[in-house]
Structure 1
Amino acid sequence: MDIFIQQIINGLVLGSMYALIALGYTMVYG
């Protein structure tokens, strides 16, 4: 169960990082 929760947290962190990068690109090139 701990591994499952860890995977969810990792997915959320990766997703938020990609969202921030995408947001930065749209602000710069948008």
Structure 2
Amino acid sequence: MKVKEVLDVKGLACPMPIVKTKKAMEALQSG
């Protein structure tokens, strides 16, 4: 598996890491 994107959510208060992860996953193409 190759890494296409790294999402750094260190230091963010909940629920921001979850929100940012969801948006990043939606932006990535499947496959």
Give the TM-score taking structure 1 as reference length.
Answer: 0.49
Quick check: which one's helix share is greater? Answer: 1
Higher-Rg structure is 1
